[in-house]
Amino acid sequence: MSDPRQRLPAVSRLLAEAERAGLLEQAPRGVVVAAIRQVVGEVRDGTACEPEGGWLDAVREAIGRQMRPSLRPVINATGVVLHTNLGRAPLARRARQAAQTALGYSSLEYDLDEGVRGSRQTHVRRLLQELTGAESALVTTNAAAALLLLVDTLAAGGETIVSRGELVEIGGSFRLPEILSKASTVLHEVGTTNRTRLKDYALAVNPRTRLILKVHRSNFALTGFVTEANLEDLVGLGAERRIPVAYDLGSGLLVSLAEFGLEGEPLVRDAVRSGATTVFSGDKLMGGPQAGILLGSSDIVSRAAANPLSRALRPDKLTLAALEATLMLYRDREQALAEVPVLRMLTADGAALRERAARLAEAVPGAELTDGASVVGGGSFPDARLPTTLVSLTTADCEKLLQVLRQHDPPVIARIDDGRVVLDPRTIDDSEIPLVIEALRGALE
Ligand SMILES: *Cc1c(COP(=O)(O)O)cnc(C)c1O
């Protein structure tokens, strides 16, 4: 038997062929050479067979893979609205356009009236004041950064009181005690896992206390024998002892969704009204770009802004443009519900979801409709199960089907439920339906 490795083509020969086929116009020479080495190398060490369609085609494909961006748009068919691995909140159309316009020169830190240096924070500060009732506001790269900045500003070198029931881990390495230690404050734990009373905080206050911090238990629920101090009482205690109170509320819901059956997430406005300095994420329930939003008194916000850390944690121009456009939508509640994708998906009605699922299922042989549930994700409304209609596919190898769908362009991300591959129309945009049908038909062939 002849060893197939002896028949491997020389790199130089394939390069000449690639040049004749015009591949050097599609990619830099270095990339073409790397693609050739990869294709030949894989056959040499037995990880791939000799390409059936010929070497040149294999090289063309390898070049395609190397030239493709790594960060790519995908279709979220999981029904998890705030899917952290898929970039959390998809932006509203106007927010996308705004980010686009900020790509060139912009008035980022320029006061157009006076022709002098301005602050990048002014573009969103007034809107945040208007929409939340806060006296002042500051935006950072994300909520973890806003919390770090706030605690470092108010409590470095002193103690921060936190309930043992609120020492949360959010995921992606956000653990509250670790953030606090990075802000050089000493964590003073009070209460127990399930019960913490106002009195526990009151007894813990001492001359080293700089801050009382309340944290929303976003991604889990405590039920049963449970007590927690409410925010108003904590702010009262803080006022009495002259200690600032901060509230990390996580998701940042700007409009109530109670009428859609979504209850339990604190509203930003209520948090601000309590008098606590409030911190939340821009890309969770608010449905904007990744950002951290800090709302509080002018005094606390200016101290945070003057902290050298704020320079390291400041948001970029694309974020600010997208955030401003997102916030503008919230001036009209109905417009926010219709145009902020996160809100639109969370409040989609059952009939519309069923219709979208049916359109998908009709076009795909073997697909069936089943009742199911979508989840909010992003650590918000952890108990909520939103009724939906799933498109479900029976197959011998679910993992394999998921993988093939991921290899489609654009990749389609589905999930497994009860031994079947399912797609949830809640997170699929109408405009994406033809692409999903194409991906499913191809994958099932
Ligand atoms: C999500 C979350 C954070 C972190 O927010 P990022 O914007 O991802 O940094 C912090 N605290 C709570 C309570 C959260 O839910």
Helix (H/G/I), strand (E/B), else coil: 171: strand
Helices (H), 68-214: 93-101, 122-132, 143-155, 176-182, 198-204
Which pTM value belongs to this model?
0.93
Q: Whose alpha carbon is nearest atom 15 of ligand 1?
A: 250
Q: What are phi and psi of 286, to 5 degrees?
A: -65, -30
pLDDT at 5: 55
- Per DSSP (E only), the strands in 49-97 are 75-76, 80-82
Shortest CA distance to 79 belongs to which of 373, 433, 434, 314? 373
CB of 213 closer than 6 A to ligand 1? no
Enter the tokens of residue 234: 């904590």
In this structure, the chain runs to a length of 445
3-state helix, strand, coil in the chain (%, to 5): 45, 20, 35
- For the chain, report the end-to-end CA distance as a whole number of angstroms: 36
215 lines ligand 1 (CB under 6 A): yes
224: left (phi over 0), alpha (psi -120 to 50) or beta: left
What is the distance between the alpha carbons of residues 319 and 84, in angstroms, rounded to a whole number? Answer: 17
Distance CA 151, CA 170 (A): 18
179 lines ligand 1 (CB under 6 A): no
What is the atom index within ligand 1 of the atom nearest the CA of 168? 13
Peptide bond into 244 cis (omega under 30): no
Distance 260 CA to ligand 1 centre (A): 24
Residue to mutate, 284, 313, 319, ligand 1, most ligand atoms under 8 Å from C-beta: 284
Distance 209 CA to ligand 1 centre (A): 24
78 within ligand 1 shell (Cβ under 6 A): no
Nearest-10 Cα torsion for 419, 425, 428, 433 = 100
Beta bridge partners of 248: 215, 279
Q: Are 165 and 215 in contact (CB under 8 A)?
A: no
Q: How far apart are CA 61 and CA 39, in angstroms?
A: 9
The reported pLDDT for the residue numbered 4 is: 56
Atom of ligand 1 nearest to the CA of 216: 13
Ordered mean pLDDT values, 10 residues apiece, the chain (445 residues): 68 95 94 96 91 93 93 98 96 98 95 95 97 98 97 97 94 86 95 96 98 92 91 98 97 95 94 98 98 98 98 98 98 98 97 97 96 93 93 96 96 96 97 97 93
Q: Ligand 1: which atom is nearest the Cα of residue 282?
A: 7
The tokens for 48 are 């791939």
Q: Are 354 and 369 in contact (CB under 8 A)?
A: yes
Ligand 1 neighbourhood includes 143 CB (under 6 angstroms) = yes
If you take atom 14 of ligand 1, which residue's CA is the nearest one? Answer: 250
Angle (nearest 5°) at CA 198 between 193 and 201: 75
Q: For the beta carbon of residue 121, count every other beta carbon within 10 angstroms.
A: 19
Tell the residue nearest (CA) to atom 2 of ligand 1: 250
Centre of ligand 1 to C-alpha 250, Å, is 5
